[in-house]
Chains A and B, each alone.
Chain A
Amino acid sequence: MRDVMLSLLAKEPAHGYELRQRLEGALGPAGGALNPGQVYVTLSRLERAGLVEAREVAQPSHPDKKVYELTAAGRERVQQWLTDVTWSKVAPLEFHLKLVAAAATRLADPVALVDAQRLELLRELRQLQELALAEAPDSDGALLLEGASLRLQADIRWLELCERRWVERESR
């Protein structure tokens, strides 16, 4: 969540409500399940960690609003997050948001991120297969490895869809 919020701020400073809207836009129907309070909690944590700065902006007919902006440390962390190929437990959600953030901020090429990620997963799949070949085919261990391998294959297939989508968008 922290990295996602930071990446949403990388394009331009924004206030909490705008960030919520951007996040919901990227998530589609899954955005409805988002806890709105989490956005604000995360922002204040990021502020305490020195990754964002908040400034009060006066509004004529409404109370002042807080506009959040990345610090240099925050910007550096976004850059690291975008190019980190660790396939976390929250993938594909996190990776999806990474692509959206990369395209919006132009800090990285979404298609290059897909390529790097696919390579990482193919390497992992290769390791799983080597391990599986060393196991007796009817062992419990082989069955577990097969499960892990099938999940990776599904993830890789989804990355191919990501590739197609972002190649099309970029050529427009």
Chain B
Amino acid sequence: MSNAIEARGLQRRYPTDGPPVRAVDGVDLVVEEGESVSVMGPSGCGKSTLLHLLGGLERPDAGELYLGGRRVDGLSEAAWAVLRRRAVGFVFQAFHLVDELTSVENVELPALLVGAPRRDARRRAMDLLERLGVAERAGHLPDRLSGGERQRVAVARALVNQPLVVLADEPTGNLDSHATGDILRLFADLHEARQALLIVTHDARVASTADRLLTMRDGAIVAQTRLGQGTPAAGVLARLADLGGEG
């Protein structure tokens, strides 16, 4: 099985008046197919820049990057554009939906761009909207949707081409807990679809659902931990049911 994402010594510097700032400073990272990884760290630690590098929105100054086993750090802008459409799904806090298109048209657009038959694209788009609980909003323009609904449409759009990798930057930024729950459930389904998921987030609920947690500080990954095992549910429940006292 090949790794969905593999980065070696990834580096990105930003020029300043003084010495350049190392936003991402030598990151080594492997995300396997079907694995979800959350990235936490204080503001300015480089986590969003890392996500941009992994999705080809920015280019590294040094290091190697492989997506699905293929080396991509030297690709041209045009080659990246094609790769992104097929292999990478993005979810941003600000949604980035096309205002003039309805929900379902927004979702099917990436499928049409890679040449999917119209009927097939529509069916996949409707399936996803249904799973995210916004099927009845399919014919609405984005400005008629709530923030939670817009983000669910944006998540559906990111998934419509069944990308190898889904990259999410604060996907639940302004959502209430109901909308967040729907998105987390969908992310959990990605597992079964063998898609890799990397989520940059401040939201502890979102971070805790991943298989693995990365902690970043000053452009570097300072800790990598598996979240899967740990406190057994029995312990959590015992604390929840602890009324104190002996009787």
Contacts and interface: CB of A to CB of B under 8 A. Distances in A.
A119 B228 CA distance: 11
A128 B205 CA distance: 10
A144 B205 contact: no
A126 B237 contact: no
Contact of B231 (A127, A133, A160): A127
A129 B208 contact: yes
B21 interface: no
A131 interface: yes
A131 B205 contact: no
A153 B178 CA distance: 16
Interface residues of A, number: 29
B11 to A, nearest CB: 21
A44 B42 CA distance: 43
B1 interface: no
Given A153-B204, A163-B42, A131 B237 contact: yes
Interface stretch (B67-75, B100-108, B209-217): B209-217
A120 interface: yes
A54 interface: no
Given A123-B227, A148-B240, A133 B185 contact: yes
B236 interface: yes
A127 to B, nearest CB: 5
Among A125, A133, A149, A164, the one with the most B-chain Cβ atoms within 10 Å of its Cβ is A125
A123 B233 contact: no
A119 B205 contact: no
A46 B198 CA distance: 49
B115 interface: no
Contacts of B213: 119, 122
B208 A125 contact: yes
B2 interface: no
Contacts, number: 64
Contacts of B231: 120, 123-124, 127
A163 B218 CA distance: 13
B174 interface: no
A131 B204 contact: no
A141 B237 CA distance: 11
A167 to B, nearest CB: 7
Contact of A129 (B184, B217, B232): B184
Interface in B129-188: 177-178, 181, 184-185
A110 B236 CA distance: 25
Interface string A101-120: 00000000000000100011
A126 B42 contact: no
A160 B43 CA distance: 11
Contact of B204 (A144, A146, A156): A156
A146 B205 CA distance: 11
Contacts of B225: 119
B42 A123 contact: no
A133 B181 contact: yes
B161 to A, nearest CB: 27
Contacts of A130: 233
Contacts of A55: none
B207 interface: yes
Contact of B207 (A115, A122, A146): A122
B133 to A, nearest CB: 12
Interface of A: 115, 119-131, 133, 137, 144-146, 148-149, 152-153, 156-157, 160, 163-164, 167
Given A120-B231, A160-B202, 7 more contacts: A119-B230, A123-B208, A124-B236, A127-B233, A131-B236, A131-B237, A148-B236
6 contacts: A126-B227, A127-B231, A129-B184, A131-B236, A146-B177, A156-B204
